[in-house]
Amino acid sequence: MQSEPAASSLRRRPRPGETIIQALLFVSGLVSILVTVGIVYELFKGAWGFFTHPLWEDTNKALAAEVGPTDTWLPVTTEGSAIPAGAVIQVDDEIMRVLTVEAQRLQVTRGWQGTQPAAHRAGVDIFLQSRVSLVEFFTSTRWIPQAGEFGILPLVNATFIVSLIAMLVALPLGLAIAIYLSEYAPPTVAQVLKPVLEILAGVPTVVYGYFALTFVTPLLRRLLGPDIVDIYNMASAGIVVGVLVTPLVASMSEDALRAVPRSLREAAYALGATRLETALQVVVPAAFSGLAAAFIVAISRAVGETMIVALAAGAGPNFTFNPFKAAETMTGHIVRISGGDLSYDSIDYNSIFAIGLVLFFITLGLNLLSQRIVARFREEYQ
């Protein structure tokens, strides 16, 4: 008769190595989460500073007479825009809050926001405090920080045009490469082509940028004419961004195609389908969720590309739908103004974080869309 095993022998044996590996994996995941939270926090903090930073607009009004440091009524000239009660104004270096508006006089609180009341001579200009509004930020087509105009549409428009051109290049080319590698290529050819694609993905983006500027742009100007294609233009930047993204599309699409069971291909062959018909009518539809995810990830990569657009697309915001004109993308603008002498917590400095936050939400939306598509169209095979 067999004896029952002792309870101690059924206990889980301690495995220190496995515990250490599990702890390292947990710490790695926690660090990645904390880094993401830190990045999002800095973006929101900088963007908050951008939308709350005071802007001073010239009212085209001036003091009509000299004002002493204790006077609370300011005589102002008749011309210029109206100053409402409750507004904050600046005269020389002193900031004041308007309490009452009476004819051509303003009753104010002197020394507002910690400034010192002082005497002001007649003829001094009066500036009105304002802030960047969300409506102006998302609807205005002019981005001129020096003039107090902060409409992000020119930057967003250029970003999407460059990304659209890139996708027109990368998606068909990457999908064709993936179909060839997964359905047609002999093993010896695949062994050569895969490393070449990996090398293409490893080329520094600054090299791609100069390739766009020194090869693609002159080629476009030769084909279409220098009067049509600017030296800096969105088309050449988009084409080269598409070349950059192609290896990503090809690699992810190939993985999705190879995940389709071999039995589906064999069934199609048994029904008389050719290899091309099998690839296009059976394998590609079966791998749709993976292909869609690959395409959306590629779009996110194109939207976030920096050096190519900074070198080849243009160095100034321009609201245009002509891809052969110069325009600046969001990432290109961030690179350009970051290289200048920006004082900390200035409106220009904080605008970087506002633009970065918009980029963050665009890529976040694309990633969420990718997950929804994968979950909606995923097919499981036994």
Give the residue, 190 or 98, on which the prediction is more confident. Answer: 98
Beta strand pairing status for 143-144 and 149-150? antiparallel
Q: What is the pLDDT of residue 129?
A: 87
Rounded CA gap, 325 and 231, in Å?
8
- Winning range, highest mean pLDDT, from 31-35, 59-63, 279-283, 303-307: 31-35
Residue 6 has pLDDT above 60, yes or no: no
Tell me the two tokens of residue 243.
Answer: 């070349």
For residue 326, the model assigns a pLDDT of 93
Biggest alpha carbon distance in the chain?
115
Report the C-alpha gap between 35 and 29 in whole angstroms: 10
d(C-alpha 303, C-alpha 361), whole Å: 12
| Backbone φ and ψ of 105, nearest 5° | -130, 145
Q: Which two tokens stand for residue 93?
A: 């270096």
Going by pLDDT thresholds of 50, 70 and 90, the confidence category of residue 8 is low
pLDDT in the model for residue 215: 94
Q: Tens of pLDDT along 75-119?
A: 999 888 888 888 899 999 899 999 999 888 999 999 888 889 999
Q: How many angstroms separate the CA atoms of 100 and 147, rounded?
A: 29
Mean pLDDT (the chain, rounded): 88
Q: What is the pLDDT of residues 239-293, one digit of tens each?
A: 999 999 999 999 999 988 988 888 888 888 898 888 888 888 988 888 888 898 8
Q: Which of 8-22, 52-66, 334-348 has the highest mean pLDDT?
A: 52-66
Binning pLDDT at 50, 70 and 90, where does residue 382 land?
A: low
Q: Per-residue confidence at 9, pLDDT binned at 50, 70, 90? A: low
Percentage of the chain beyond pLDDT 90 is 42
Tell me how far apart the alpha carbons of residues 166 and 169 are, in angstroms, rounded to a whole number. 5
Q: What is the mean pLDDT of residues 156-180?
A: 94
Query: pLDDT band at 55, cuts 50/70/90?
Result: confident
Among the listed ranges 122-126, 279-283, 367-371, which one has the minimum average pLDDT value? Answer: 367-371
pLDDT band at 24 (very low <50, low <70, confident <90, very high): very high
Does residue 4 carry a pLDDT above 70? no
8 A C-beta contact, residue 182 and residue 261: no
Instruction: Determine the average pLDDT of the residues in 6-28.
Output: 79
Does residue 3 register a pLDDT over 80? Answer: no
Q: Give the residue-averaged pLDDT of 189-197.
A: 85
CA distance 267 to 281: 12
Q: What local confidence, expressed as pLDDT, does residue 245 receive? A: 93
Pairing of strands 125-130, 105-109: unpaired
Report d(CA 65, CA 98) in Å as an integer.
17
Closest residue by Cα to residue 88 from 73, 77, 99: 99
Instruction: Sketch out the chain's domains with CATH numbers.
Output: 55-130 (2.40.30), 147-377 (1.10.3720.10)
pTM: 0.83
Q: Give the pLDDT band of residue 162 (cuts 50, 70, 90).
A: very high
Whether 232 contacts 218, CB under 8 Å: no
Type of residue found at 157: N
**8 Å CB contact between 318 and 234:** no
**pLDDT band at residue 155 under the 50/70/90 scheme:** very high
Supply the pLDDT for residue 379. Answer: 62
* Contact assessment for residue 155 and residue 291, using Cβ atoms and an 8 Å cutoff: no
User: What per-residue confidence (pLDDT) applies to 10?
Assistant: 60
* Per-residue confidence (pLDDT) for residue 216, from 0 to 100: 94
> Whole-angstrom Cα distance, residue 58 to residue 90?
10
What confidence score (pLDDT) does residue 147 get?
A: 73
Residue 366 has pLDDT above 70, yes or no: yes
